[in-house]
Structure 1
Amino acid sequence: MPQPTRPGPALWRRPWVVPLGFVAVAFLVFSLPPYLGLDPVQSRVPPPPGNGWYYPVLVAHVGFASIAMLCCVLQVWPWFRQRYPAAHRHIGRCYVLAGVLPAGLSGLAIAVVSPFGPVAAVSNVLLAVLWLTCTGNGFRAARARRYREHRRWMIRSFALTMSIITNRIWGVVWGIALAPQLATTFGGNEVLFGYTVAGLTTWTGWVLPLLLAEWWLEREQRGRPVRPERPVEVGSRTGNAG
């Protein structure tokens, strides 16, 4: 006889869900307006000279990454995931196909010609590759019904999706920390100063969240008894596919 799907933890047992959603929405409200008018002058990222394609691809990246971020908040909510498995599956596909995939590819393109220096460019290229890889591995694992593996890959994907928020925080931190050294260490060279801040910001922005996610996964794994994954019950077969 099919077993009913066990309801997920109540909202009050996951107090981080509401703050996470609030932070994501607040970030998008602050970040999106300069790109809604499709005016390159309003862009927060200066287009590199001689790359007329840069701004349209940047706008596409911002739009698709916003979709990924909003989908991601719902996907990591245990109650929603277990209470509405079909919605979780459809939103997961949207996260992958209408969010991470186009955002990662467009991010890879603009990273190659980053106006923030070679260190930031290498960081952003690696970020885009890892984002696409983690998400793709998670999507394939879900389609193969390897849900524990799917969950681990998607937690990594979540960390990389949300790293844009920590990126902005680290940008302020590094800018304030290094500003007193502009006239000394950097010899008054504002371009070098900007490249240094951008390089440190991009690397710490995504590496630290990914390391934190990996630590959390390993900590969780050590506390869980090793056992093979059981076949999905009929009552929950419509579950995690995204």
Structure 2
Amino acid sequence: MPTRQHLWLPPLIVISVAFLAFSLPRYLGFDPARSLIPPHPGYPLHYPLLVGHILFGSVALVTGCLQVWPWLRNRYRVAHRWIGRLYLFGGVFPAGVLVLGVAPVSSTGFFSSVGNTMLAVLWLFTSFAGYRAARRRRYADHRAWMVRSFALTFSIVVNRAWLVLWIVVLDPFTGTLFGGDEAAMSRAAAGASVWLSWIVNLLVAEWWLLRRRGTPARAGRTG
């Protein structure tokens, strides 16, 4: 009988593949004109850093989905370890470092810049904490940190859903709240989606971890 993990895994993979199929081809040709995020004028490194972040981030998303696949993780532990190294060193770490050069100049304003920067810092921190726990053979702690790491990895996918939701919510108020300025409304929607995409994901991850472990005190004794 399928477990709950087996039930949510196929939608997770389908959504991730659909997201990459829509977003990634725009950057494979290295054409700034096709970028969903406009290159920052006067900042020549913006587009190369953005493309690098997206390519490495795509590796993190794909390998992260494989890492949370219970069958692969439990049946092929050696593969799990090697895919985990690829997730970290070929995905999260380079993507997280590169985005630190992009986030501060977000085209959607200061609110988005701060949110994306905090996301990058937490992404790097949780991933490094998971790697360090594995090196110390604290596998329960390792799993917990990597659940948080993948929650942050997946935030880029749910960000698009939050963005659409906030545009739908705010659009009727464009004339009153934003003085008819649609660009200002879009920036507000983008800022809200940035923050909610990773905050809600982390809250869900923490709820899932506490539900599995019972209490925070018990979680602290599993390392």
| Structure index of larger Rg | 1
Tell me the residue number matched to 2:40: 48
User: In the alignment, what sits opposite 1:122?
Assistant: 114
Match of 2:158 in 1: 166
CA deviation string 1:10-35 (max 9, x = no partner): 8x332222221111111100111111
Contact 2:52/2:98 (CA < 8 Å) preserved in 1?
yes
Deviation per CA, 1:127-180: give whole Å up to 9, x if none.
Answer: 000000000000010011100000000000010001111100000000111111
Paired position in structure 1 for 2:56:
64
Give the helix-richer structure, 1 or 2. 2
Deviation at 1:221, TM superposition (A): 1.9
Match of 1:237 in 2: none
Residues 17-28 of structure 1 mapped to structure 2, 5 A cutoff: 17-28=9-20
Map of 1:97 onto structure 2: 89
| Counterpart contact for 2:40–2:107, Cα < 8 Å | yes
Is the Cα contact below 8 Å between 2:40 and 2:47 reproduced in 1? Answer: no
2:30 pairs with 28, 32, 38, which one? Answer: 38
Q: Deviation at 1:219?
A: 2.0
SS of the residue 2:176 aligns to: coil
Aligned pairs (5 A) from 1:218-237: 218-222=210-214, 226=218
Structure 1 portions without partners, runs of 5+? 1-9, 231-242
2:179 to 181, 187, 190: 187
Distance 1:30 1:20 in 2: 16
Aligned to 2:98: 106
Aligned residues: 220
- Shift of the 102–173 alpha-carbon distance from structure 1 to 2, 3 Å rule, reads same
1:150 aligned partner: 142
Deviation at 1:66, TM superposition (A): 0.3
Aligned equivalents of 1:29 and 1:21: distance in 2? 12
What is the CA distance between 1:194 and its match in structure 2? Answer: 2.2
**Residue identity (%):** 49
Secondary structure of the residue that 1:142 maps to in structure 2?
helix
Q: Normalization by structure 2: what TM-score? A: 0.94
- Determine whether 1:85 maps to 2:48: no
Unaligned 5+ runs, structure 2: none
> How far apart are the structure 2 equivalents of 1:103 and 1:165?
15
4+ residue stretches of structure 1 with deviation over 4 A?
A: 223-230
**Alignment-derived partner of residue 131 in structure 2:** 139
TM-score, normalised to structure 1, is 0.86
